Amino acid sequence: MKAYLYDNLPGDQRLPHDSGKAVDVDSLGKLGVLYYRIENIEGVNQLAAERGYKNRDEITVSPEKMGDVYEAKVKSFFDEHLHEDEEIRYIRDGHGYFDVRNKGDQWVRIQLDKDDLLILPAGIYHRFTTDETNYIQAMRLFKEEPKWTPLNRSEDLDANPYRKEYTSHFLA
């Protein structure tokens, strides 16, 4: 895992966009973002039991697996949004980026690789993209039945109770 401020320069979203300003794991934790390096499924099972994740599935994001919908799907993942549940991803193979907003509303890019596990709290604005290899395989973990309704950022969304709870706990 590598995290840094996003450079905001134009160009392909799948490129690193590394500003050269590193962000450490403690700073991510202050945003409610939790990072783990887990090298085997037993470790994932242990974390799932500790945190109450009862369900899981796997997704492969690649042109080969998704066909014609790949480009549109990756672009939709890159729209800034939040979820009303934690978002948990364990990277089984490949590479990708999660971008999250920091306290100053800047993007922090988190590069994830095989065996990285990331937990985003409910209510955090974020987005996702593959890297230039166009391939990632991830396990998604859920506390209850999966419901992945992305709520795209808008002024109205700031009144969302999950967003309000997130901002009062991590951004105040």
pLDDT single digits (tens) 79-136: 999 999 999 999 999 999 999 999 999 999 999 999 999 999 999 999 999 999 999 9
Confidence of residue 144 (pLDDT cuts 50, 70, 90): confident
Report pLDDT for 98. Answer: 97
Query: Would you say 97 and 135 are in contact if contact means Cβ atoms under 8 Å apart?
Result: no
Residue 154 makes CB contacts below 8 A (sequence gap 6+) with none
Q: Which residue has the higher pLDDT, 40 or 144?
A: 40
The answer to whether 42 is annotated as binding is: no
For residue 107, the 8-state DSSP code is E
> Looking at the predicted structure, is the pLDDT value of residue 148 above 80?
no
Q: Name the percent of the chain in helix, strand, coil, to the closest 5.
A: 25, 35, 35
For residue 85, the 8-state DSSP code is S
Report pLDDT for 146. Answer: 74
Report pLDDT for 130. Answer: 96
Query: Would you say 142 and 85 are in contact if contact means Cβ atoms under 8 Å apart?
Result: yes
Nearest to 118 by CA among 160, 89, 97, 82: 89
The answer to whether 83 is annotated as binding is: yes
The Cα–Cα gap between 27 and 82 comes to 20
The Cα–Cα gap between 172 and 150 comes to 24
Report pLDDT for 66. Answer: 96
The answer to whether 87 is annotated as binding is: yes
The answer to whether 86 is annotated as binding is: no
Quick check: helix, strand or coil at residue 4?
A: strand
Q: How many residues does the chain have?
A: 172
Report pLDDT for 63. Answer: 97
> Looking at the predicted structure, is the pLDDT value of residue 12 above 80?
yes
Q: Using the structure block, give the residue that is written with the tokens 């994932």.
A: 44
Average pLDDT score, the chain: 95
